[in-house]
Amino acid sequence: MLELWVWITLFAVVMQVIRHSLQKHLTASMSPIGVVCVRFVFGLPFGFIYYGILTYFSDGTLIPSTTFDFWVYCFCAALTQILGTLFLILLFRQRNFAVGITYTKTEIMQSALLGLVLVGDQISLAGYVAIAISMAGVMILSAVGGKFDLNSILTGLFTRVAVYGLLSGFGTASASVFIRAAALELTEAGFLLRAGFVLVIVLSIEVCLIVFYLTFQDKSETQNIIERWKPSLMVGIFSALGSVGWFSAMTLERVAYVKTVSQLEVIFSIIVSYLIFKERTQVHEFIGMSLVVIAIFVLLLVA
């Protein structure tokens, strides 16, 4: 019998694949920062609705006691999640959907390294092997023109596509660690209420940062978002549902484990890429994705 956090993670994965698909459609009519804005602005109301439902059925705890560190973690989570999402959208404009998702899966390896640097989590020998396999997969994915000679692979690793993918993974990995740290700062109520509270706080900070930017730097995009409110609303709904899953799972379990289970997103994204976007994965891209998936399994089963 799978543990509860595994089922919650699987739910989050499905919601995220749908949200990514909807966001990719929006990239044809919106700027990258506009697509990022849609995710958080349209997701915030649903986040508050969810938290309102939780508090209604709770023991009366509306706002848990917080610490200074809690607010620092929430702000860092908001900022890094915005950056991670922005680089993901930029990545979608460069390569096909499935490959883009695979690049972001380096967040699992980056989460392990961030854990070592920030909180002293030790990495086993098998863990380092998994990291090496994953980076080999990323190098093959980034090979220019699918060539397997060393020069093209090394050159491809420093292309804009590879940089966007790695930065997206770094932003997401950092946000995940900060989200879990914020949730662990709360000692009152059950895991759902704690995760829900972190969710509305982080979303609120993200909306404030994005709206501030658009107000002073890109007012024209605001009108563009309003005109496309229907597809934007769908992005917001699935973004909020996915966030509920991620925040809850990472409150229950360590980020590395949650992210390991989330590797199923690679398989789902390939299906979406084939059925919806009619995109075909090249041989070297399939090999690269396979190596990344193998690395995730090594991390889960051996490390």
Radius of gyration of the chain (CA): 19
The string of pLDDT tens digits covering residues 128-174 is 788 788 777 777 766 655 555 566 556 666 777 778 888 898 999 99
Residue 206 has pLDDT above 80, yes or no: yes
CA distance 203 to 213: 15
Whether 179 contacts 77, CB under 8 Å:
yes
- Indicate the number of domains in the chain: 1
Q: Count Cα neighbours of 58 within 13 Å in the Cβ-side half-sphere.
A: 20
246 falls in which pLDDT band (50, 70, 90)?
very high
What average pLDDT does this structure show over 222-226? 85
> What residues have CB less than 8 Å from 303, skipping those under 6 apart?
123, 124, 126, 127, 129, 130
The string of pLDDT tens digits covering residues 285-299 is 788 778 888 877 787
pTM summary value:
0.83
**Phi and psi angles of residue 76, each rounded to the nearest 5 degrees, phi first:** -65, -40
- In which domain, by residue range, is 209 found? 4-301
Whether 206 contacts 198, CB under 8 Å:
no
> What residues have CB less than 8 Å from 280, skipping those under 6 apart?
274
Residue 56 has pLDDT above 80, yes or no: yes
What average pLDDT does this structure show over 19-23? 84
